[in-house]
Amino acid sequence: MAGKSKAAATVVKLGVKYGPVAYEAIKHGKEPAREFAQRQLSRLNARKQALAHAEGLQDGSTMPVWKDDQQIWVVFNGAEPIASHPTVETPLALLIQGYDLTRRTRPTTDQRPKTNPLKALRGKR
């Protein structure tokens, strides 16, 4: 019992000493972490939306470009830019100015069979 009470006393002592600091760090650190996660998620969603948009076109392709510190996916129909994801106020001709248009990517449909990795593991047992 002596060891448990000493450990509990140490935990209480450290909690009193560092608790307020930890609380403030968590409180102020939560918002930047949330904003970072939302930015990453919106980047992935913009790419998915652009690829889905290009897939619906006859000669669709996409290309990532940068405006300030934001990545923007421009959708092309043939050689003409028609849309951007996320939508921006800047004209598309200005967005793609200076970029190598041969680096555009075309959406591909994945023809590989979809397998569930859990089922593959169960079958090996």
pLDDT of 92 above 90:
yes
Q: What pLDDT does residue 21 have? A: 72
Domain boundaries, the chain: 2-108
Q: pLDDT tier at 109 (50, 70, 90 boundaries)? A: low
The CB density around residue 123, as the number of other CB atoms within 10 Å, is 7
What's the rounded Cα separation, in Å, for the pair 40 and 32? 12
> What mean pLDDT, rounded, does the chain reach?
83
pLDDT tens digits, one per residue of 16-64 = 887 777 777 777 777 787 888 888 888 889 999 999 999 999 999 999 9
Helix residue spans in 56-115 (DSSP H): 92-96
pTM, full prediction: 0.60
